[in-house]
Structures are given as C-alpha cells and as structure tokens.
Chains A and B, each alone.
Chain A
Amino acid sequence: MDAHAHASVGHAELEIPYNVHPRPDTGLYNGKLGVWLFLASEVMLFGALFSSLILLRTGAESWPRGYEFLNVKLATFNTFILILSSVTVVMAWSHLRLGNLKKGRIYISATVLCALIFLTAKGFEYSHEFQEGRFPKTNNFLAIYFTMTGLHGLHILGGVIVFLYFLGPGAKMWAKEPERYTNRIEIAGLYWHFVDLVWIFLFPILYLM
C-alpha cells in the first residue's frame, strides 16, 4: 500500500460519523442535535433576563410605559423585517433542498439584508434615546431594555456573520457536499428563527406594556 492510499484510509478512519446523515437512534445528524442543545441554553439565557424583568417590574412602585417614549412605529417595522427574514431563510433552505443554489443564495442575501436593516433601525432608536438623555443607568426599565435589546442585537450580528460566511467561503462546501451545506443552512436557520422568536416576545413586553 503506497503513502497516498495510507493517507486516504487514515482520512476515512478520522471522518466524523453522522455529520450529514442522521444517527439511527436519534434520527438527527450531529449539527441539528447540537444546535437544539445550544438553543436550549439560549432559552435559559434570555429566560434569566425575562425573569429579572418580572422581578424588577413587580417590585417597582411605578414602572415606565415603553410606548410613551420608545419608538413603537420603528419597532413594529423591525418586527415585520425580522418576520420577513425568517421566511427568507426558510425559503433559502427549501431552494437548496431543491438543488437550486442560485435561489438559495438570493434568499440568504435577503436574510442578511433584513438583518442589516433591523440593526440600522435599532441604531437609530438607540441614538435617539441617548440624545434624549435616556441611558441604561437612568432607571431600571431602561437598564433591562438596553440589556435585552442589546443582547438580542448581538445575536442578530452573530447570525449575519454566519450567513455571510455561508454566502462567501462557506459556499465552497456546496460543490463537494451539497447535502451538508443544505444542513448547515437549516441549523443556521433554526438559530435565526429562535432570534425572531425572542423578538416576538420582547416587542410587546418592552414597547407596548
């Protein structure tokens, strides 16, 4: 056996199983199980902050109403944008399952665009609050508002980085392993839907109550 053959045998031995195809016992490939475990930890992270919000709100003698000074119109617009991005990512995954990389990439790009619009609008919102002299140190409401929306914004930014990677260098995977690339978009999408889900609850709790 020559050196090349040895190397290929070694590569096969080192290959991680169930990276693309599902394990017989769980019915899931590794990445999908991994992302759900990660999302479970994310639920606890945001859950701790929602719990803190309840504690602060129920313990306060008076609590500011978000709709009286926060920009509800911009937040409603952002809600639509985030919902739209959830659809574009699931459409990207669907087109990849159909074998159409071109359309898949168009929808991933649309998702990134939606995310950037969301972050830009949030930036405008933050700068307006700062101009009005409203900072995290001003009161408990603003402290929890900036913490929760800031953490959520960081999650959006993380998603943008992941999607840009799969649009750029990560797209090379499609040429050799289209199924694996499709799976990667699916699990990135699961993360993205979770980020959308968090905003669905943040929006009424912070802006409308």
Chain B
Amino acid sequence: MTDPAAAVEPGVDIHEHAGIGDPNAHHHSPEQIRREMKVYLAVFAGLAVLTALTVGACYGLNLPVHQAIIVALIIASVKGFLVAGFFMHLLSEKKVIYGILILTVIFFIFLMALPISHHANPFGS
C-alpha cells in the first residue's frame, strides 16, 4: 500500500499545486492559516475559562435557582458563539448556510415555544 504521507512532503504547501476546495481557503496563504491557528488556541483558552466560570457560578455565587439558570445559559451561549463563530467559521460563511440556519432557528424557536404555550393553555382545560 502506498503511504499517503509520501504524496506531499511535510511542510509543502499544496496551495502551490492546487487550490483547496474550501472557497475561503483559495485565498489563504500559509501565514494566514498559521494566524488562524493562533486564534483557535486563543478561543480554546477562552472556552476553558468560561467552563470554569460556569461551574464557579453554580457553586461559588450561591445564586437563587432562576438566576443560576440565566447565568449558566448566558455563559453557555457565549461558549456556543465561540465554537460556532470561530471553529465552524460561521462569522465568515456563505449566504446559503446562513439561510439554512435562519430557517432552522425559526423551527427551533417554535419547538421551544411549544412547552411554554402548553403551560399557558394546558390541553383539556
């Protein structure tokens, strides 16, 4: 079996031979990719700190339950933004993906609203 590693020498930039399928990657130089890698590590550090904050807020602040829920969800949302925005590149994605996600969010909100509407007007009452 051919060793796939032998196909491209370590450190060789395949952009010189052919473009990467990712539309954004066509324009990314090795320096830009290395800069992005530093951003990923910074985001990781941020996520780690926020995870510690989530646990700290639960145990350290001794908040009432409803406040603890709000704080935990706010921190989780910030973490979600970091993962989706930087790791999934949603901060610089194509319009068609935003379209898919907007449609998904509309249905998701409907799903979340279902139990709330049930309690506002319980079936059978």
CB within 8 Å for A201 and B1 given contacts A58-B115, A190-B88, A208-B68: no
Residue on A nearest B1 in the bound complex, by CB: A172
CB within 8 Å for A186 and B22 given contacts A33-B96, A197-B84: yes
Mark A159-192 against chain B: 1 for CB-CB distance below 8 A, else 0: 0000000000001111110111011001001100
Name the residue among B7, B12, B84 with the largest chain A CB count within 10 angstroms.
B7
The residues in A between 125 and 141 inclusive whose CB is less than 8 angstroms from any CB of B are none
Question: In the bound complex, do residue B87 and residue A101 qualify as a contact, i.e. CB atoms below 8 Å apart?
Answer: no
Residue on A nearest B25 in the bound complex, by CB: A97
The answer to whether the Cβ of A98 comes within 8 Å of any Cβ in the partner chain is: yes
Binds B, one of A7-15, A87-95, A111-119, A142-150: A87-95
Q: Is the interface of A mostly helix, strand, loop or mixed?
A: helix
The answer to whether the Cβ of A47 comes within 8 Å of any Cβ in the partner chain is: yes
CB within 8 Å for A103 and B10 given contacts A21-B19, A22-B21, A27-B96: yes
Give min CB distance, A40 to chain B, whole Å: 4
Q: In the complex, what distance in Å separates the CA atom of A186 from the CA atom of B46?
A: 22
Mark B61-101 against chain A: 1 for CB-CB distance below 8 A, else 0: 00001001100110110011001100110000011110011
* Residue in B10, B40, B65 whose CB lies within 8 Å of A100: B10
The answer to whether the Cβ of A55 comes within 8 Å of any Cβ in the partner chain is: yes
Question: In the bound complex, do residue B115 and residue A83 qualify as a contact, i.e. CB atoms below 8 Å apart?
Answer: no
Residues of the A chain whose Cβ atoms lie less than 8 Å from the Cβ of B37: 91, 94
Question: In the bound complex, do residue A43 and residue B104 qualify as a contact, i.e. CB atoms below 8 Å apart?
Answer: yes
Question: In the bound complex, do residue A27 and residue B47 qualify as a contact, i.e. CB atoms below 8 Å apart?
Answer: no
CB within 8 Å for A50 and B112 given contacts A101-B10, A203-B54, A209-B69: yes
Residues of the B chain whose Cβ atoms lie less than 8 Å from the Cβ of A193: 83-84, 87-88
Question: In the bound complex, do residue A209 and residue B88 qualify as a contact, i.e. CB atoms below 8 Å apart?
Answer: no
Question: In the bound complex, do residue B13 and residue A99 qualify as a contact, i.e. CB atoms below 8 Å apart?
Answer: yes
CB within 8 Å for A83 and B44 given contacts A43-B108, A99-B15, A172-B2: yes
Q: In the complex, what distance in Å separates the CA atom of A175 from the CA atom of B9?
A: 11
Give min CB distance, B123 to chain A, whole Å: 12
Question: In the bound complex, do residue B97 and residue A58 qualify as a contact, i.e. CB atoms below 8 Å apart?
Answer: no
The residues in A between 58 and 113 inclusive whose CB is less than 8 angstroms from any CB of B are 58-59, 67, 72, 76, 79-80, 83-84, 86-87, 90-91, 94, 97-103, 105
Q: In the complex, what distance in Å separates the CA atom of A186 from the CA atom of B94?
A: 15
* Residue in A40, A44, A84, A208 whose CB lies within 8 Å of B72: A208
Question: In the bound complex, do residue A90 and residue B87 qualify as a contact, i.e. CB atoms below 8 Å apart?
Answer: yes
Question: In the bound complex, do residue A204 and residue B33 qualify as a contact, i.e. CB atoms below 8 Å apart?
Answer: no
Residues of the B chain whose Cβ atoms lie less than 8 Å from the Cβ of A50: 111-112
Q: In the complex, what distance in Å separates the CA atom of A98 from the CA atom of B107?
A: 39
Residue on B nearest A31 in the bound complex, by CB: B21
Residues of the B chain whose Cβ atoms lie less than 8 Å from the Cβ of A76: 51, 55
Residue on A nearest B13 in the bound complex, by CB: A99
Q: In the complex, what distance in Å separates the CA atom of A182 from the CA atom of B7?
A: 14
Q: In the complex, what distance in Å separates the CA atom of A28 from the CA atom of B36?
A: 20
Return the 4 tightest CB-CB contacts between A and B, nearest first: A55-B115, A204-B72, A99-B14, A174-B4
